[in-house]
Structure 1
Amino acid sequence: MNGMLGLSLKGLRRDLRASDVRALFIALALAVAASTMIGFFLDRLDRGLTRQAGQLMGGDIKLEQGQPFDESLYQTLRDAGLTLADQVDMVSMISRGEAFQLASLKVIDAAYPLYGEVRVDLGDGQISQLPRGPEPGSVWIAPRLAQLLGVGVGDSVQVGQAELTVSGLIEREPDQSAGFSSFNPRLMMRIADLDATGLVRPGSRIEYELLAKGPPEAVAGVDALLERLAGEGVDVEDVRDDRPQLGSALERAEKYLSLAGLAAVLLAGVAVAMATRRYVDRHLDTAALLRCFGATQSQLSSLFAWQLLWLALSASALGALLGLAGQAGLLALLAQFLPMELPPPGLLPLLMGILTALAVLVGFAGPTLLRLKRVSALKVLRRELDPLPASAWLVVAVASLVFGALLWLYSGDLALSAGLLVGGLIALALLWGLGGLLLGLVLRLAGRSSVASGSFAQALRLGARQLARRRQASLGQLLAFAVTFAAMAIITLVRGDLLSAWQAQLPTDTPNYFAINIQPGERDGFVQLLDGAVDARTALYPMVRGRLTAINGDQPREAVPEENRGDNALQRELNLTWRADVPEGNRVVAGEWFADDSGEPVGGDSERPVPISVENGLAERLGVGLGDTLSFTIGSDRVTGEITSLRDLDWDSFRPNFFVIFPPGVLERYGHSYITAFKLDASENRDLLRRVVEAYPGVSLLNVDAILERVRELLAQVTRAVELVLIFVLLAGISVLYAALTASHSLRTHESGLLRVFGAGDRLISRIQGVEFALLGLTSGLMGALLAELAAAGVYVGWLDLAPRLHLTLWLVLPLGGALLIGVIGHLLSRGVRRQTPMASLGLLGEA
């Protein structure tokens, strides 16, 4: 055994001078780098969330509802041995002088925080870690809010009807919410000051939170109480079951990063498969000689397996270092969205990286390496006695199974992995056929070039012929680079084009401001203030907060389809409204509206549920339809409605929309506020906004333009992180090109020698090779542009509901950029071929 290990190490040191082994090493290192970069980053996130779960949630238990909790609940939880803290969350306009800004208010009591400390700048130039919030009469604000309002520590701000002093700038909160759900800067204040602000009004959008901390046995002792509260419509989070998440947008970014990393692994696997062919061809004579000296098939297998294992481990070490550097870059780009400081990386991603390298070797190189153990000893005398190459179907089947296993390992979703694998194989077959047609067309055009005879025309024709001679290898490279170019183009389009195109297609009178929390007594005055001063305004819609607590008399979580039990409509209070006619932008698609031609209500007498209209998408998610009943808890009352109509909504209209609409005469007795939307050029009407804030401090103005600008910033930040991963994808694509050059080294060298024999000089050979790679890059760019256009069209139609558009710049940049990039890289990598003398080149005839 020791002798086999030593022989394998000696053989590896000798082989490192060979281009195919270098190609194997580079491809494996890139596969490990891509997988470990994502692995290290996500592992740090996961361990950080697990370690600080209670701190991130704010307590071991979190209860949330739209009204204050009963005092009896506080006493019950305290008797169980739990420490409690109150918190109120809302959105309100904050102002100072003529500057105003919408902010997210966190209203806390003296017990805050139950876990951790608040990192805050108190104005002395140093950051303090404090186990408390601001004192009564003062507030702490986010630095961004301070910048927007032009205030600092010691200045005062207007919060509703109260004037409070800024005593600190929040650097980090222990229970800071993550993700992209909150676009407004934070203001933290004490509950003792809440009444003075006048922000708590009937129908206001307020979330009351009750946080509890205690030993595990105390938390377990209130399980029955928590279950009862959940059944009554209280949103219950338990740190044992509901670990805080990162937010849906960042979770989607995680999946996107993981898939991009696996794309790099797949391309690296293709490079491994190409380089292995050359590696095996070079070692057939060595294997035959070892057979002559008595080596068995198992000994040959062990020798080359150990040699490749050392190669995989060394490549894994380099890849892990690159992965560590890459995850540091990801962390720097996404730090502002993360809820905490992350722990250092663990060892699990490193082990996963090594496993990835070994899996890539086994899956993409294994069938080809089997030729080495089947070599005959007679090959030392008769060179034509090569073992038959592995079947192409066997290579594809084994590689697909191994890559599918990697998909499953990294995603944890068997159905998703199987779907991606099957869909990928089908797409590969289609792209292979399409790529063959496109490559054939380009080669035919190049071969029939009408350019006058000359060195360039000659190089063009000869380069096209050489590319056609290696058609199968060229197709593999074409697909690899086309997918890489398409991925980069899609990222660019998403960041720079889709959002702006979506905005450009909105009507000119699309509202850009929402006004919420308008009280009934303020309604007429608010309308008079806006009328004549704004470009367009929607109707005022009343809003009542209600939680869905029963579907056809059953608990909602039990009544809805299993896959939709986590739907947001079951987790929070819904905004309910009433209206006599169908709102603008709504269309009844099933059933009848509340009133018939006589104007009388349709259904809903004192003994029956009232009729309601439900948005069609919500009905599908809840698994309900016409005739089903929904029960809502509003305050201490329960209102049941029967679905008599379903509606489609225009969610992109930037108008107030509601999932559930009641007929008039049902909800008016409950506390409610109004919402409206209007179009206003803030740069020309800033005085109007100031008068609205001064006259109605409790009304929140939501600037849609500011939110869209924030979306652009966040989108740009995330796409930069994805582009960092795509660098590895591009490098993996280049490794495919390097491996293809390595695999065809003997043939290219022999062709170069033949050209020299027939009088070709260095310049002509250089041009022929440059043209060959440029044509490959040009075709890859055309294919990538087509894939990017199709993907963008899918996003337009399926996501943004827009008409597809043609990106002419894409069709110019990708083909020319691909020709330049692949042409230059291929030309540089093939310098060694051009340096061979004709005699040495012709001497490789037997290997070609």
Structure 2
Amino acid sequence: MDPIRFSWLLTRRDWRAGELRLLAAALVVAVAAISSVGFFVDRMKTALNQQARQLLGADLVVASEAPLAEPLETGASERGLQRVHTVSFPSMAVAEAAGGKGEASSLLASVKAVSAGYPLRGTVRVAERAGGPDAPAAGVPQRGTVWVDPALMAGLGVAPGGRLQLGESSFRVERLITLEPDRGAGFVNLAPRAMIALEDLADTKLVQPASRITWRLLVAGEARAVADYETWLKTRLPRGARVETLEGGRPELRATLDRAQQFLALVSLLSALIAAVAIAVAARRFAQRHLDGCAVMRALGLSQGRLLAALLLEMLWMGLAAGALGAMIGWGGHLALIALAGPAIMLQLPPSSPLPGLQAMLAGLLLVLGFAAVPLARLAGVPPLRVLRRELGAPPVSAWIAAASALVAFSVLLLWFAGDRRLAAYAIVGFALGAVVFVGVAWGAIRLLSPLRHLAGGGRGSAALRVALASWTRRQGASIAQIAALSVGLMALMLLTVTRGDLLDSWQRASPPDAPNRFVINIQPDQRDDVERSLRDSGIQGAALYPMVRGRLVAVNGRDIDPNALGDDRARRLVDREMNLSYMDRMQAHNQVAAGRWIEASRPEVSVEAGMMKTLGLEVGDALTFDVAGEPVTASVVGTRRVSWDSMQVNFFMVLSRSALVDRPQTWITAFHLPEDRPQAVATLLERHPNLTVFDTTAIVRQVRGILDHVVRAVQFLFVFTLAAGVVVLYAALA
């Protein structure tokens, strides 16, 4: 008989007899659990990525310190991408005195000239007056007008309708900027914003050969076209130009999104584990109930190979049908989850692709094959004599083979769903060790309890106890497997419960409500004590001051660095200009040693941020030489650090020992949280020290916390949903 037709007949017979229903039910619930989380996670990840792209104002940004060549825009145009231009630079903004009376006030501002259509992603929000309601901006500033942010308005004492001088042009203040989606984290961008139309830029006469100006080309469009354009750019970027993405250009947001990705990986990983437990128990039950039927077929002449092929095909048909049903249920489940969680999550979720459903179906088939292959192989090898001698069973298979088959399937599934090899490896090792421990405990418990069946006295309760203990001792293998499976499943559920609070707490600690929202730079060494005293008198506590030394990396291990020889564009930019160095005796609390050790104050040593270490291709033990005010400073790399960029604290890529930099020209920097009810603290500080520059990072902190709050709300609901799905899966498996 044709194997496919025969397997189909077996499938129909077993389904009508109810033999497949438990396994199918377990698979349906398993696929539904995985696909429900998968559909929701897919939509949430897409929404988070879309929101993250708003922080660039585009899908991709090309930035340069010189005007961008026309071919770069032509390449974007040929791919059907939307394009806008911005030009940003620092400049003094002067508030003109009303009626020409009184003194004009001035303040360093970050000027941005934008073309029509800006931004391509996200929305600029504006208000007509301070404290008034804001709304999405309709277009960009009109010619002759300027939009300013609250810090510039307060610093200059200018109001809508007033006049602001930028270079040789006078502008009417028209709007107050309340939200700018692509506000960067560089010091230039931390200065108060003044936004004008790109057509007005030439009239200001502020674009001069020596000016610190950044030209940007913002592009947006279909993901495939954007990716193709990014690839095309790699060989065509002129020197000094760079491609900015969220990952490379916004380190303070990259860590936040990384935490979101880690959570999503954890949810998928534990959902897959719970599904594996259910399939394992159901597959074992199916094999035990088919021993007699397979023995009859073997007695009638069916070979072991043909029987195994028929059984595997039967699992395939059942898996496809149950997987499709589970995916449909998962789709409905994720819609119910969105209806419940959507208002609280406050994210506009885009449509999901069918990929999570197909992935869940493939995961279900993988689980069936991985956990059912060994039981089915034993089933196909049942001796024909079992028809006459019931004590004969399927040929024994090494427990190690069965465990290896299940472990391989589970490992592939975890690597697939986790998306993080290290996380998956930890989970595989942890749960494998847990399973070994549970098997050992179950075996020991059965051995210890088996003598009790002979000690139980008379009575109805004792008889039930003897029957239960006898069943345990007669079916030691099945009992141990069931106990271990249930224990692993419960361990996964407990892990969800325990880690949920820890995960949320760690996220919220990374960006607390009192995260710094003001940076003060250009503090002279003789002003340190007075600045600290002034902040304390204003009620600002814990504002640590750090030295900042300007230096450029010029050599590694005695060899001069050739920027043109560096393949990475970011690496070229890092060595092409000066960077902010610092020295300190103790490592900052929001830094962690990733490799090596912390620096010693008495030796010329340096600790490098892990990302920069990788970008520049450095290794522990390398000798770095910096040009500091024309003098060489050499220090040995003794370790790398992981920096919490989303903490909004003062951070440095390079931290040297005190002995290396203490005598070099330096200024100091600090960051602190300014409560809304104490705005006079900054005014008092600037009144006593006019040379200081204070940057307001409130907008950036708000962006970081906005994304984090969305993720935290999603965590609350996804953990509850996955926990509920796990309970249902375990119930189906043990029914």
Q: What's the TM-score, normalizing by structure 1? A: 0.58
Equivalent residue of 1:383, what SS? coil
1:364 aligns with 2:371: yes
Indicate the residue corresponding to 1:623 in structure 2: 618
Equivalent residue of 1:405, what SS? helix
Indicate the residue corresponding to 1:109 in structure 2: 114
User: 1:58, 1:114 within 8 Å by CA — same for their partners in 2?
Assistant: yes
Deviation readout 1:313-341 (Å, 9 max, x if unpaired): 23212321343345554799699999x97
Deviation readout 1:662-713 (Å, 9 max, x if unpaired): 6367556xxxx74235688x58856545655899795135689x96997699
1:242-391 matches, within 5 Å, as: 247-291=254-298, 295-325=302-332, 329=337, 344-391=351-398
Residue 7 of structure 1: which of 6, 9, 13 is its match? 9
User: 2:164, 2:173 within 8 Å by CA — same for their partners in 1?
Assistant: yes
User: 1:516, 1:701 within 8 Å by CA — same for their partners in 2?
Assistant: no
Indicate the residue corresponding to 1:643 in structure 2: 635
1:403 aligns with 2:415: no
1:731 aligns with 2:733: no
Cα separation, 2, equivalents of 1:429 and 1:128: 59
Indicate the residue corresponding to 1:809 in structure 2: none
Cα separation, 1, equivalents of 2:5 and 2:624: 78
Amino acid at match of 2:501: T
Residue 477 of structure 1: which of 458, 467, 486 is its match? 486
Deviation readout 1:800-836 (Å, 9 max, x if unpaired): xxxxxxxxxxxxxxxxxxxxxxxxxxxxxxxxxxxxx
1:133-152 matches, within 5 Å, as: 137=145, 139=147
Residue 492 of structure 1: which of 501, 518, 522 is its match? 501
Indicate the residue corresponding to 2:103 in structure 1: none
Cα separation, 2, equivalents of 1:502 and 1:381: 72
Amino acid at match of 1:23: L
Amino acid at match of 2:195: M
Residue 516 of structure 1: which of 513, 516, 520 is its match? 520
User: 1:84, 1:212 within 8 Å by CA — same for their partners in 2?
Assistant: yes
Indicate the residue corresponding to 2:22 in structure 1: 23
CA apart distance, 1:275: 1.7
CA apart distance, 1:643: 1.1
User: 1:40, 1:324 within 8 Å by CA — same for their partners in 2?
Assistant: yes
More divergent stretch after superposition (399-408 vs 323-332):
323-332
Amino acid at match of 1:478: S
CA apart distance, 1:353: 1.9
Cα separation, 2, equivalents of 1:487 and 1:300: 41
User: 2:256, 2:708 within 8 Å by CA — same for their partners in 1?
Assistant: no
Amino acid at match of 2:409: V
Indicate the residue corresponding to 2:31 in structure 1: 32
Residue 699 of structure 1: which of 686, 694, 703 is its match? 694
Deviation readout 1:251-280 (Å, 9 max, x if unpaired): 343243234323222332222222222222
- Change beyond 3 A, Cα 1:514–1:121: closer
Amino acid at match of 1:316: G
Cα separation, 2, equivalents of 1:219 and 1:52: 20
Indicate the residue corresponding to 1:749 in structure 2: none
CA apart distance, 1:427: 4.8
Q: List gaps (5 residues or longer) in structure 2.
A: 78-82, 91-108
1:770-781 matches, within 5 Å, as: none
CA apart distance, 1:177: 9.1
1:614 aligns with 2:606: yes
Cα separation, 1, equivalents of 2:328 and 2:620: 56
- Change beyond 3 A, Cα 1:285–1:80: closer
CA apart distance, 1:629: 2.4
- Change beyond 3 A, Cα 1:592–1:478: closer
Cα separation, 2, equivalents of 1:410 and 1:650: 26
Indicate the residue corresponding to 1:843 in structure 2: none
Cα separation, 1, equivalents of 2:575 and 2:466: 66
Cα separation, 1, equivalents of 2:7 and 2:641: 69
TM-align CA RMSD: 6.6
- Change beyond 3 A, Cα 1:310–1:136: farther
Cα separation, 2, equivalents of 1:631 and 1:331: 57
Cα separation, 2, equivalents of 1:379 and 1:679: 79
- Change beyond 3 A, Cα 1:333–1:642: farther
Cα separation, 2, equivalents of 1:105 and 1:52: 24
1:25-174 matches, within 5 Å, as: 25-40=24-39, 62-64=61-63, 69-70=65-66, 85-88=85-88, 107-111=112-116, 113=118, 115=120, 118=123, 132=140, 137=145, 139=147, 164-166=173-175
Cα separation, 2, equivalents of 1:557 and 1:443: 75
Equivalent residue of 2:239, what SS? helix
Cα separation, 2, equivalents of 1:491 and 1:235: 39
Equivalent residue of 2:353, what SS? coil
More divergent stretch after superposition (206-215 vs 121-130):
121-130
- Change beyond 3 A, Cα 1:724–1:649: closer
- Change beyond 3 A, Cα 1:503–1:351: closer
Cα separation, 2, equivalents of 1:726 and 1:592: 49
User: 1:593, 1:644 within 8 Å by CA — same for their partners in 2?
Assistant: no
- Change beyond 3 A, Cα 1:382–1:456: closer
Deviation readout 1:506-531 (Å, 9 max, x if unpaired): xxxx9977542457699698667436
Count of equivalent residues: 654
Cα separation, 1, equivalents of 2:503 and 2:245: 37
User: 2:521, 2:668 within 8 Å by CA — same for their partners in 1?
Assistant: yes
1:226 aligns with 2:237: yes
Deviation readout 1:72-123 (Å, 9 max, x if unpaired): x568967999877225499xxxxxxxxxxxxx98944125537468486889
Cα separation, 2, equivalents of 1:571 and 1:112: 35
Q: List gaps (5 residues or longer) in structure 1.
A: 91-103, 179-183, 448-452, 505-509, 595-611, 743-848
- Change beyond 3 A, Cα 1:574–1:375: farther
Amino acid at match of 1:494: L
Amino acid at match of 1:643: A
- Change beyond 3 A, Cα 1:42–1:295: same
Cα separation, 1, equivalents of 2:15 and 2:38: 31
CA apart distance, 1:365: 1.0
Deviation readout 1:772-804 (Å, 9 max, x if unpaired): xxxxxxxxxxxxxxxxxxxxxxxxxxxxxxxxx
CA apart distance, 1:488: 1.3
- Change beyond 3 A, Cα 1:732–1:638: farther
Equivalent residue of 2:606, what SS? strand
Q: Percent identical across equivalent pairs?
A: 22
User: 1:591, 1:644 within 8 Å by CA — same for their partners in 2?
Assistant: no
User: 2:555, 2:561 within 8 Å by CA — same for their partners in 1?
Assistant: yes
Cα separation, 2, equivalents of 1:87 and 1:306: 64
More divergent stretch after superposition (105-114 vs 260-269):
105-114
User: 2:30, 2:729 within 8 Å by CA — same for their partners in 1?
Assistant: no
- Change beyond 3 A, Cα 1:37–1:590: same
- Change beyond 3 A, Cα 1:651–1:726: same
1:681-692 matches, within 5 Å, as: 682=675, 687-688=680-681
- Change beyond 3 A, Cα 1:421–1:160: farther
Cα separation, 1, equivalents of 2:120 and 2:517: 37
Equivalent residue of 2:580, what SS? strand
- Change beyond 3 A, Cα 1:683–1:238: closer
Amino acid at match of 1:404: S
Amino acid at match of 2:328: L
1:480-629 matches, within 5 Å, as: 480-496=489-505, 514-517=518-521, 529-530=534-535, 532-534=537-539, 536=541, 540-541=545-546, 543=548, 551=556, 552-554=559-561, 576=580, 593=602, 614-615=606-607, 623-624=618-619, 628-629=623-624
User: 1:122, 1:168 within 8 Å by CA — same for their partners in 2?
Assistant: yes
Deviation readout 1:1-22 (Å, 9 max, x if unpaired): 5853652353243144x5xx44
CA apart distance, 1:428: 3.6
1:676 aligns with 2:670: yes
- Change beyond 3 A, Cα 1:523–1:440: farther
Q: What's the TM-score, normalizing by structure 2? A: 0.65
